[in-house]
Structure 1
Amino acid sequence: MKRYSNKLIMTVLAGTALLFTACQEGDNPIDFINENETRGAVLRTIEIFSPELPIGDAEGFFGLEAEIQTQEDGDNVDFVEVYVAFNDNTGGTDTKDEALHETIDPSEFFIGEFGYPRFRSEVTLGAMQATLGLNNSQVRGGDQFRIRYELVLDDGRRYSFADNTGTLTGSFFRSPFLYSADVVCPPIGPLPGVYTVEMQDSFGDGWQTTTGDGGPGLTLTLSTGEVFEFLICSDYEANANCSGGGSAGTATFTMPDGVESAEWNFPGDFYGEISFQIIHPSGATIADVGTGSGAGPVVINYCFDYD
């Protein structure tokens, strides 16, 4: 039988106790803060909701629920500052440096499931535009707003994105302090006004969409039940709704008020000679279809409906 000295046994027990204690303490998020006193505070992401901002919707918002963790369980947080900035990603010169948007008071905090204070923040598109001095024409699909949160403690210390480390931004803490919200262009009801369809035929003998002689034209079906048809008159087949002749034709129509949807459909390009553009009442091109395009729905650039 092997004999073990008391010294060896005590060493093993001490090591086991240390390992157990380390596992227990290491699973608690606040341990990181306690071991790194100079950081002082963490803003942990719980949920991001409404991360996209539909263009033209002043009430569309970026939403965040976040949890505050400090050495004093969040009791030493004086307030949270919210800053906003704007990146013009669509070729303009309207990028805006960040500005203070609002302040969140501790009275708006609530206690989360782990005993730490949380808050919910909703920052609307209209309010951010007002803070940064942006009008609707300066905000386009593809642009981006950035929202930054800054914790201000009761001793004057501040913690935000610039104080972050890889540990805090990783999957465990998810504490970036800085978030982005993209401006998007969802389908909307067509805006009323006079639309123009510019049509071309590269061969110069009018449109032949589904047959060598002609065929139906580009159609627009409204939710009201009205149907419009557009095509260049063919040299080989008559169509009462055609316009122009030979190489080019232009047609207009008036979109009435109250239309909920408008579906454009292209019957096809039999010889690969047809092209056309749909022009919004503002003068913006909302569709540009080139020669050789297949039959099917026409993709509309909804962003231009706000120009």
Structure 2
Amino acid sequence: MKNIFKLLFTASILLFAYGCTTDGEHLASFDHSGQVEYGAVLRTIDDMPSNSLINTSFDDSAFIITVEEQDIEDGGLLQEMRISVVYDDYSPDNGITEASGLVQSVPASEFYTDTEFGFPRYDINVSWGSMKDALGFVADEYSPGDIVRIELELELTDGRVFGPESASSIISSGFFSSPFAYNSLLACSPMSGEYSITMWDGYGDGWQSDGIEICLDGDCSYFTIPAGNYNEGSIFVPEGTGEMTVSWPGDEWPNEVVVLIVAPNGQQFVFRGAEQMALYTNGLFPDDAIFELSSVMTPGLLPVAVCAN
């Protein structure tokens, strides 16, 4: 079985080579003599945590994932893995924060090999406290709704280094998912009270999805337009709720989708499904004052965060 797995890995790397330039930086490339140069990947085990949530109210809130190192020597080329964090500021109203830093260097000796195929694995656990230390944050440099990006670098025994720039669509999804980078959304314990959700559809036939998902400590509710061009709803967040997430699964016609979420303190969050929107005769969009506040949303967690006092 391990030999079959190794053949699949080799075939994946060769396929990657044909889809890339031959600058020597990728996982596999051909030199002028026709020889193949093999690199390595850090494969994501189980589900990839797309836009994982970090609760800034707790220093022990953490990004957690398991990765498996694979190279042509079944892990024999592994020297070390470096874990870094990069801060992406999505709240410029309080100033732009630019920061990045190394969280941890993990030598090959700290990987474990009692795995299904004997390849070395490591369980990554990066807490919010360690992220702040790496970024040099000491006060209010961050805001809920911003993104922290976990980036991995893999150094081999021959000195070659592979990271996010080494990945392509061939190795960033599916069984050999190896993006070398993961996003985490900063959140907090939410403000209690009623949140209103107002929805518009630009065509007038409703949304072609389950709509907006709002989860309170894992208990989820859904808000959509089953038919027509407009709908509204609300959800009450009890005092003491630890975690609130708002997400959108996407839509068959995202350029017709607009949503407004208003927090108990009146703060507005407006999203549209595409850069270029389409409004038809039977459709409806919010007035210009609201629409101009909208930002483009992509499937996944939405940056909706109003912290409890």
Please tell me the TM-score bracket, short chain as reference.
0.5 to 0.7
Q: Which residue of 1 aligns with 2:61?
A: 60
User: Which 10-residue stretch deviates more, 83-92 or 44-53?
Assistant: 44-53
What does the per-residue CA deviation read over 1:63-97, in whole Å, with 9 as the maximum and x for residues that have no partner?
11011110111111111011111011112334324
The structure-2 alpha-carbon separation of the partners of 1:82 and 1:25, relative to structure 1 and needing over 3 Å to count, comes to closer
Supply the distance in 2 between the matched residues of 1:163 and 1:81 (Cα, whole angstroms).
15
Structure 1 length-normalised TM: 0.52
Q: Which residue of 2 aligns with 1:38?
A: 37
Q: Which residue of 1 aligns with 2:102?
A: 100
Supply the distance in 1 between the matched residues of 2:77 and 2:44 (Cα, whole angstroms).
19
Once the 2 structures are TM-superposed, how far is the Cα of residue 34 of structure 1 from its aligned partner? 6.6
What does the per-residue CA deviation read over 1:250-291, in whole Å, with 9 as the maximum and x for residues that have no partner?
xxxxxxxxxx749xxxxxxxxxxxxxxxxxxxxxx961399x
8 Å contact 2:144–2:187 — kept in the other structure? yes
Supply the distance in 1 between the matched residues of 2:165 and 2:184 (Cα, whole angstroms).
19
Once the 2 structures are TM-superposed, how far is the Cα of residue 107 of structure 1 from its aligned partner? 2.2
What does the per-residue CA deviation read over 1:187-227, in whole Å, with 9 as the maximum and x for residues that have no partner?
3799xxxxxxxxxxxxxxxxxxxxxxxxxxxxxxxxxxxxx
8 Å contact 2:83–2:150 — kept in the other structure? yes
Q: CA RMSD in A?
A: 3.2
Supply the distance in 1 between the matched residues of 2:83 and 2:5 (Cα, whole angstroms).
33
8 Å contact 2:58–2:128 — kept in the other structure? yes
Report the number of matched residues: 183
8 Å contact 1:140–1:303 — kept in the other structure? no
8 Å contact 2:189–2:307 — kept in the other structure? no
Q: What secondary structure, in the 3-state scheme, does the structure 1 residue paired with 2:265 have?
A: strand
The structure-2 alpha-carbon separation of the partners of 1:106 and 1:289, relative to structure 1 and needing over 3 Å to count, comes to closer
State the identity as a percent.
27
Q: Which residue of 2 aligns with 1:288?
A: 266
Once the 2 structures are TM-superposed, how far is the Cα of residue 172 of structure 1 from its aligned partner? 3.1
Q: Which residue of 2 aligns with 1:83?
A: 84
Q: Which residue of 2 aligns with 1:180?
A: 183
Q: Which residue of 1 aligns with 2:165?
A: 162
Once the 2 structures are TM-superposed, how far is the Cα of residue 186 of structure 1 from its aligned partner? 3.1
User: Which 10-residue stretch deviates more, 146-155 or 159-168?
Assistant: 159-168
8 Å contact 2:189–2:308 — kept in the other structure? no
Supply the distance in 2 between the matched residues of 1:303 and 1:138 (Cα, whole angstroms).
16
Q: Which residue of 1 aligns with 2:214?
A: none
Supply the distance in 2 between the matched residues of 1:27 and 1:90 (Cα, whole angstroms).
46
1:28 pairs with 2:16: no
Rg comparison, structure with higher value: 1
What does the per-residue CA deviation read over 1:27-71, in whole Å, with 9 as the maximum and x for residues that have no partner?
622343478343510111114469210122111111110111101
1:152 pairs with 2:169: no
The structure-2 alpha-carbon separation of the partners of 1:116 and 1:34, relative to structure 1 and needing over 3 Å to count, comes to farther
Supply the distance in 1 between the matched residues of 2:308 and 2:82 (Cα, whole angstroms).
35
Q: What secondary structure, in the 3-state scheme, does the structure 1 residue paired with 2:170 have?
A: helix
Letter in 1 for 2:73: E
Structure 2 length-normalised TM: 0.52
- Trace 1:117-136 onto structure 2 (pairs within 5 A): 117-136=120-139
Show structure 1 runs of 5+ residues with no match: 1-23, 191-259, 263-284, 291-300
Show structure 2 runs of 5+ residues with no match: 16-27, 29-35, 194-238, 242-262, 269-303
8 Å contact 1:53–1:61 — kept in the other structure? yes
Q: What secondary structure, in the 3-state scheme, does the structure 1 residue paired with 2:132 have?
A: helix
Letter in 2 for 1:106: A
Letter in 2 for 1:107: S
Supply the distance in 1 between the matched residues of 2:65 and 2:98 (Cα, whole angstroms).
22
